[in-house]
Structure 1
Amino acid sequence: MLLIVFMTILWRYRKMKIKDIVNRDIVTLTNCEHEPIHIPGSIQPHGFLVGVTADWKIDFCTENISAFVDLVYKDIIGKDFSATFGVQAKEEIITYINSDKKQLIFPLEIEFLGKSFQLSVHKSHDIYVLEAEPHFGSKENTAELYTQMLQFITDMNSTSSLKDLCALVAKGTREITGYDRVMIYRFDADYNGEVFAENCREDLESFLGLHYPHTDIPAQARELYMKNQLRLIVDMNYKPVPIFTIDDRENKNLDLSLSILRSTSPIHVEYLKNMGVGATLTISLIHHDRLWGLIACHHYSAKNISPEIRLAAKLQGQFISSQIDLRQSTDEYQIARKTSLALEHLTGLDLPLDPLSFATICADPELLNLCNAMGVSICVGDKIYKHGVTPSDDQIGRINIKINYFAKEGIFTTNKLTDYFPEFNDNPDVAGIIYHSLGNENSIVWYRPETISEINWGGDPEKAIIKDNNGLHPRNSFNIWKQIVKNQSSRWLHPEINAAASYAHVLHNQIILLMLSEEEEKYRSQSEVLKETNSELENINWISTHDLQEPLRKIQLIISKLLLEIDKVPPQSVYDSLQRVSNSANRMQVLLQDILKYTRIKYTKDALQKIDLNHIMELTLDEMKESFTESGALIEYEKLPEIYGIHFLMKQLFSNILQNSLKYASSDRLPVIKVTASQKPEPYNFSTQIYCHWITFTDNGIGFEQEYAASIFKIFTRLHPQEKYSGSGVGLALSKKIMQTCGGTIRAESKPNEGTAITIYFPCDHLNSLS
């Protein structure tokens, strides 16, 4: 019978092959940042590990279990947990797992085969991982720990800045744990680290302020720090203990991300040995779901701490994490207050809905104070408004075009512009920007100059990993390595970024209101143009049915009469009749020419040019010499200004106004025309338009009632009978169209039998003196 039992056991062991799951993959330069440190297949030797399935079969066990209890891993793998460790142990563990989750922060105190252990439990996929460490014997003095924590909270309330708080945590953590050195390690945006606060033995060299490259703590390590917030290495000279399991499937493994005993990457162990470190405790500092930093505790010999002390140290990390926002807000309070006052000032500006208001905004010093910038540019339409230290207009244009590749939702911030625009390498005046799109290719950009800084690295960051004939190794030199940083501005702080975003939103609304106002003005102008055009069409219709048809009827009547009585009419009568026909035809020709002139002015697209009106006056008087001689009229004129207009139209304008004065001269006196003008640009505001130059033509003619001052500029409008005063009524309408084409306006003042004053106004937009 005994022989049968022995043969059965022998057959079982031959069938059940046991293997270790140690990860023996070679780490190379190409895969070292992806080293699977969460599945090392081994643990540190200060405890043992057992992995059980859902039905409580032992599926994993470490080789060193025999060092703690009277069991051999080969004998228990595949067996029932109760049969190995007892039913009571199983029930205690199940009760612990199902208890209030808050209780899981403390390990379970339990006996295995008559020996006391402190058991940590977590679940890895479908395996319960049980990690047992020998009981520490005597409990830590809980009252003393409690007193220390109370004192820490009291001291914490007296700190105002984040740096002061971190220094206090470093001191408190070292007092609680007894490690030789405690550092608060803070990451930047690229996960390069800085020793932000430190407390250490007096005989040790300080690491405070030193920087370390992101490769010292690679991505997969940072990911584990997010999952497991407390990490111990008890003895840097430990020999990893392999984990064994039943070889029942390919690539079988055990994820130890949440493990207390997990073995560490050989490269990381060598790195710490190179620093002379004998044991470590690391606590994660997590802020807004991102690894903000670490509490890194170093001891220069082997060291383990009890679960109670581990928890107290972990609470120190929680204090920092919970206070980061508050302390950073306190640190940035003065900056936030300054930006808030600037934002309040800018949003309170009462500015007109006019493109020129952006020049006013840009010139306001509070726009720079808003985010502590040295320069700012606002691009609206085809205009660029600048203030302070800024790039050239061409560079601003290129930024606006290219930045769409980097901006998310129209927002982009950097303190190192050369990473995106290499052409700014040689421009120390512009190293950092805050960019906000204002829609429709409009934008506002704040600029900061280069701030040259010196960074002390704990060793050359370019040599974090070294390759030799024996493989990969971390650097073994931690001598201070100085780096001079250029092409980089000071970092934009959150209050500055937020204030810029807030005002960009206000500015965007201002542009929308301006666009709506311009559209409203455009539609209003179009409505007025349409109304005026309809009126013109009515007049043209009237002139075509009356003024043009009336001479045609005369021509037809005279020709018909001549044809019927050609043999009876004397030659003189024929001559007189043909003369009347010629006069009627001439009148029709004048009307048609005036209509063509009016149309030409209405649709001219000539660009405005700088014109000397003195030259225009000389040319006009030379052409009208005979008219002035015939009428005996006198003309006096002052020095006329330079304006922007269209040359042939200005000549036509002067000719029309002067001919009008000659046409309506009084028969009682000699015609006198005086031309006066503004000698320098002065603002004249009519409606919404501002004009800067005026010229007035004053005559002593027959004049008219002032109530007709507006109607005389309507096409084909005549205040006097044609039989007495010739003309088609187009001259002054042409003059008005000419001034509209040049962006100006025309006005008339008159009294009957006293004369008329016609004033033309030119706009400011094209005057260099006011641009």
Structure 2
Amino acid sequence: MNIRSIVNKDNINLLNCESEPIHIPGCIQEHGFLLGLAADSLLIRYSSENVLAYTGFTHQQLLDKPLQQLCSAEQEDLLREFLTAASFDQSQPFVFTINNVKYNTKPHISNSTVILEFEPFPDGSLDLPNLYKQTQQFVSYLNDAQDLRQLCQSIAQETRAITGYDRVMIYRFDKNYNGEVIAEAKKDDLLPLLGHNYPHTDIPAQARALYLTNMLRMIVDVDYTPVPLYTIADEKEEQHLDLSLSILRSVSPIHIEYLKNMGVKATLTISLLQDNKLWGLISCHHYSQKNIPHYTRLSALLQGYFFMSQIKVRQAADEYNYAQHIENYIAPLLELMSTGDNFIGQHYHNPLLKDCIRASGFVIVQNDTILRNGNVPPDEQLLPLLEWLKEHANGGQFSTDHLIAVYPPAEAMNDTAAGLIYHALDSGGKNCALWLRPEMEKSINWAGNPSKAVVMDSAGARLSPRKSFELWKEVVKYYSEEWAAPELTTAARLASNLQKQAHLADIRREEKRYKELAAKLEAANAELENFNWISAHDLKEPLRKIQLFASRTFYSEVSLEVYKDSLVKIQHAASKIQLLLDSMLSFATMSKSNEEFEKINLNNTLTQVLGKYRKEINAKEAVITTDALPQLSVLPYQAEQLFSNLISNSLKFSKENVPLKLNIRYHRGPQHHIISFTDNGIGFHNRYVDIIFKIFQSLNKENQSNVGIGLAICKKIMDNHNGMITAEGQEGHGAVFSVSFPL
């Protein structure tokens, strides 16, 4: 029979502790003994070396023997009945009696092995806890606690009262599994650890995984000598025994050294779980050897269960209260969004957009326009960040309190964007919303320097846990304040509403564009109708005259005077056709101008036009007064044509034998530069205001040279400048034409 130890003999140090197989140490603590039975036959397949001290049998004498070697047939039958139950009642230990000594035993299955851990009753009794009193006490804590931390403090105090440990701490993990002591109950002579932080390396990943499967872990004496486990196996066989659920499982030597460095002699640890994750621990320390009975352990574990039942409730309550606070902030914003026509354009600077989630800056990008609110990086920093977010934001959303960790250029904008929340407002990321927070430099109180220390021994350098747990402060940089869940929810809610606003703005912009196109189309159709009218009437009339007088001349006997008269009339008709065609060409030229806008001095333009009409001005004995005109960005040729047509119009429709008076005035309105031309000519009735700007519509049909094109061209020019022209007349007293250029 080949009996051999299954102790894991891997060399463990801080370089490889994160991969240490702590669930299969192959040894146990010495305050009890362990047997591993074959699940079908209950033959003893594993035995701890210290079985002799408890039973009088050596492990060699017990291996491959039936359980009845140690107990009666009746006890074995009871164990079989216990094992065949649908589920084990772990609150009720299985009690073995060996050599008239009672042992607490928690049977559990590890693969195909039944593990029995035998612990003598520490105080010689098996007293049931007063569950009614314990539950009543917890309800009292619930009623008194104002928040989660206060409840933690009550749990720590009650757990210490139940167990008698020197120090009881509630230890909470952050998202990276760094821990903070958020509550503490202790002996008065101990230095406080409340508020101290412990790095995630203090509890490696595999240790955290064990805390998920085994809710209670106890070390009775850190100075124990590990007791090896033995089995019958060939040297080539792997006979590891998984002790994940074992209370006696030996502890990693690294952890033992860690506790010794803290001066701790005994511990009890209870897992606090939330949503199948390790939320924290109830960590009990004692500064001398300490073992507690089974039901005392269960009472402490019950405190953990009580507390776990309240974690989500308390956190939800805290988040709800904060969410209600935020709701009061954003209510006015939501009201503006629901009633306003252009919330983004009119209210992007509203401080509530950032203050509601305690951001220092807010940015919204709409159609490549960046709108800023508060403390925001300059363009040279912001634009590359927006491009990075567009590319890396999963699902169009991204948030962080440590931007530099994923975007190194953030170091240069630490005072504005150490943390952010990003939401794309469209599928392409062209429109987006961004909330920003600056760096919040803070100090973390570590329990000793979290860096792993190097100590020298006779074999050379060896890595070991730190030896000092005195307060060690670390200044943390490049972090903003962490975003709370209600803040993230609110940002998403606002982004959704802003997205609707952006879409609404796009729809209205398209609607406006379509209306403008429809107006242009209507105007083009009206112009086309006028052109058709010219083709059908105005051009046909002189052509008909040409045909008439030509027929009279060539096909009839006429005198020389009649012949000459016919030629003169043909010439007039042809001139009329030429005038109409030139007018149509001039109007079409204004519609399809390729001229570029230039900023020019309109005084110079007016001087040139007045010089062109100097002869007509002198003939009319006209008196023209003018204000100083501004410099405007215009189409230069069209601006000259505009002034020319308006001055020509005043000269053409002046009164006979009455000197023309023309006043050219300028003033700046709220939205336009306005230039008016006021004359004392023949004027017109205001009922004709709507038709005088239409092409080939003339109120003076007697004047053959007036085809009604000048004012139509003026209107076309002002349309090209996104301006307008208006007229006001009084028959016999003159007219006022005003042109308005946008600011």
| Fold-level similarity (TM above 0.5) | yes
Q: 2: CA distance between counterparts of 1:651 and 1:327?
A: 77
- The answer as to whether partners of 2:12 and 2:254 remain within 8 angstroms in 1 is no
**In structure 1, distance between residues paired with 2:274 and 2:533:** 82
Report the counterpart of residue 758 of structure 1 in structure 2: 737
Distance 1:563 1:47 in 2: 142
Secondary structure of the 1:651 match is: helix
The match for 1:365 is 351
What is aligned with 1:382?
368
Distance 1:667 1:390 in 2: 69
**Is contact 1:276–1:300 with CA below 8 Å preserved after alignment?**
yes
Cross-structure match for 1:319? 306
Instruction: Choose which of 210, 232, 244 in structure 2 pairs with 1:257.
Output: 244
User: Cα RMSD (Å) of the superposition?
Assistant: 3.5
Asked whether the 8 Å contact 1:590–1:728 carries over to 2, the reply is: no
How far did residue 450 of structure 1 move?
2.5
Deviation at 1:644, TM superposition (A): 4.6
Q: Give matches, 1:385-464, under 5 Å.
A: 385-430=371-416, 431-439=418-426, 440-463=429-452
Hey, what's the Cα distance between the residues in 2 that align with 1:106 and 1:654? 106
- The 1:223/1:605 distance shift into structure 2, 3 A limit, reads farther
- Find the counterpart in structure 1 of residue 11 from structure 2: 26
Q: Determine what percentage of the aligned residue pairs are the same residue.
A: 40
Residue 490 (1) aligns with residue 481 (2): yes
Offset of residue 146 of structure 1:
4.8
Q: Using a 3 Å threshold, how does the CA distance of structure 1 residues 268 and 533 change in structure 2: closer, same or farther?
A: same
Q: Is the 8 A contact 1:456 1:481 kept in 2?
A: yes
Q: Which deviates more, 114-123 or 580-589?
A: 580-589
Question: Is 1:110 matched up with 2:96?
Answer: yes
Q: Which moved more, 1:547-556 or 1:398-407?
A: 547-556
Query: Which residue of structure 1 lines up, in the alignment, with residue 32 of structure 2?
Result: 47
Please identify, of 97-106 and 645-654, the stretch whose mean Cα deviation from structure 2 is larger. 97-106
Residues of 2 paired with 1:98 and 1:699: CA distance?
A: 115
* Counterpart for residue 673 of structure 1: 662
Give the distance between the partners of 1:623 and 1:130, measured in 2 at CA.
118
Matches within 5 A, 1:169-568: 169-247=155-233, 250-328=237-315, 335-349=322-336, 357-430=343-416, 431-439=418-426, 440-463=429-452, 469=460, 471-547=462-538
Q: In 1, Cα distance between the equivalents of 2:453 and 2:644?
A: 87
Rounded to whole Å, the distance in 1 between the matches of 2:88 and 2:510 is 65
Distance 1:299 1:546, change over 3 A: same
In structure 2, relative to structure 1, the CA distance for the partners of 1:180 and 1:145 (3 Å cut) is: farther
Match of 1:653 in 2: 642
Alignment of 1:631-710 (within 5 A): 631-641=620-630, 643-667=632-656, 669-679=658-668, 681-682=669-670, 691-710=671-690
Matched letter for residue 242 of structure 1: P
Distance 2:60 2:516 in 1: 96
1:596 partner amino acid: A
Inter-partner Cα distance in structure 2 for 1:466 and 1:446: 47
Measured after TM superposition, the shift of residue 278 of structure 1 is 0.9
Return closer, same or farther for 1:316/1:542 CA change in 2, 3 Å cut-off: same
Aligned residue pairs: how many? 735
Q: From the superposition, tell whether residues 587 and 48 of structure 1 become closer, same or farther in structure 2 (CA, over 3 Å).
A: same
CA distance 1:728–1:104, shift in 2 (3 Å): farther
Answer yes or no: is the 8 Å Cα contact 2:337–2:501 preserved in 1. Answer: no
In structure 1, C-alpha distance between the alignment counterparts of 2:76 and 2:737, rounded to whole Å:
111
Structure 1's unaligned 5+ residue stretches are 1-12, 683-690
CA contact (8 A) 2:609 2:640 kept: yes
Q: Map Cα deviations across residues 477-531 of structure 1 (whole Å, 9 max, x no partner).
A: 2233221222322222223222222222222211122222222222233233333
Shift, 1:139, TM fit: 3.9
User: For the structure 1 residues 321 and 676, does the alpha-carbon distance in structure 2 shift closer, same or farther, using more than 3 Å as the test?
Assistant: farther
Paired residues of 2:348 and 2:364 also in contact (CA < 8 A): yes
Q: Is the aligned partner of 1:738 residue 2:717?
A: yes
1:600 CA displacement: 1.9
CA spacing shift, 1:268–1:578, aligned 2, 3 Å: same
Residues 69 and 115 of structure 1 are in contact (CA less than 8 Å); yes or no, is this contact kept in structure 2? no
Contact 1:711 1:717 in 2 (8 A): no
Whether 1:92 aligns to 2:62 is no
578 and 181 in structure 1: CA distance in 2 versus 1, 3 angstrom threshold: same
1:583 aligns with 2:575: yes
**Native 8 Å contact 2:344 2:498 kept in 1:** no
Letter in 1 for 2:639: M
Find the residue that maps to 1:130 and give its secondary structure. strand
Larger deviation, residues 561-570 vs 54-63: 561-570
The answer to whether the Cα contact below 8 Å between 2:3 and 2:231 also exists between their aligned partners in 1 is: yes
1:6 matched residue in structure 2: none
Q: Unpaired runs of 5+ in structure 2?
A: none
Amino acid at match of 1:322: S
Which amino acid is 2:586 matched to?
D
Cα 1:701–1:229, aligned 2, differ >3 Å: closer, same or farther? farther
> Which whole-Å CA distance do the structure 2 matches of 1:755 and 1:156 have between them?
91
- Shift of the alpha carbon at 1:678? 3.1
Of stretches 629-638 and 77-86 in structure 1, the one that deviates more from structure 2 is: 77-86
Partner of residue 594 from structure 1, selected from 573, 586, 589: 586
Given that 1:412 and 1:434 are in contact with CA atoms closer than 8 Å, whether structure 2 keeps it comes out as: yes
The answer to which of 336-345 and 664-673 deviates more is: 664-673
Local SS of the residue matching 2:182: strand
Partners of 1:137 and 1:201 in 2: how far apart? 23
C-alpha separation between the residues in 2 aligned to 1:378 and 1:120?
A: 62
Aligned-partner Cα distance in 2 for 1:481–1:520:
64
- What are the equivalent positions in structure 2 for 1:565-576 lying under 5 Å apart? 576=568
Relative to 1, partners in 2 of residues 1:584 and 1:728: Cα closer, same or farther, differing over 3 Å? Answer: closer
Change (3 A) 1:474 1:68: same
Q: 1:145 to 1:214 in 2, by over 3 A?
A: same
| Matched residue type, 2:205 | A
* Contact 1:435/1:443 (<8 A) preserved: yes
**In 1, Cα distance between equivalents of 2:636 and 2:713:** 15
Helix, strand or coil for the counterpart of 1:309? helix
Q: 1:588 to 1:742 in 2, by over 3 A?
A: closer
Determine helix, strand or coil for the equivalent of 1:590.
helix
Measure how far apart 1:457 and its partner are.
1.6
- From the superposition, tell whether residues 620 and 255 of structure 1 become closer, same or farther in structure 2 (CA, over 3 Å): farther
8 Å contact kept, 2:726–2:739 = yes
Q: CA deviation at 1:82?
A: 6.3
Shift of 1:314: 1.5
Amino acid at match of 1:65: V
The aligned counterpart of 2:614 is: 625
Tell me if the contact between 1:467 and 1:473 (Cα under 8 Å) persists in the aligned partners. no
Residues 669 and 319 of structure 1: CA distance in aligned 2, closer, same or farther (over 3 Å): farther
The 8 Å contact of residues 680 and 735 in structure 2, kept in 1 or not, is answered as yes
Q: CA deviation at 1:335?
A: 4.5
2:6 aligned partner, one-letter code: I
State the alpha-carbon separation in 2 of the partners of residues 27 and 737 from structure 1: 90
Contact kept, 8 Å, 1:156 with 1:168, in 2: the verdict is: no
- Once the 2 structures are TM-superposed, how far is the Cα of residue 584 of structure 1 from its aligned partner? 4.6
TM-score, normalising length from structure 1? 0.85
- Which region of structure 1 is more displaced relative to structure 2, 189-198 or 274-283? 189-198
Cα distance change of structure 1 residues 401 and 134 upon mapping to structure 2, 3 Å threshold: same
Output the CA distance in 2 between the equivalents of 1:707 and 1:96: 108
Q: Quick check: 390-399 or 103-112, which moved more? A: 103-112
Give per-residue Cα distances to partners, 1:590-648, cap 9 Å, x unaligned.
Answer: 135314313324xx5845x5555444433433344344334444433334455554333
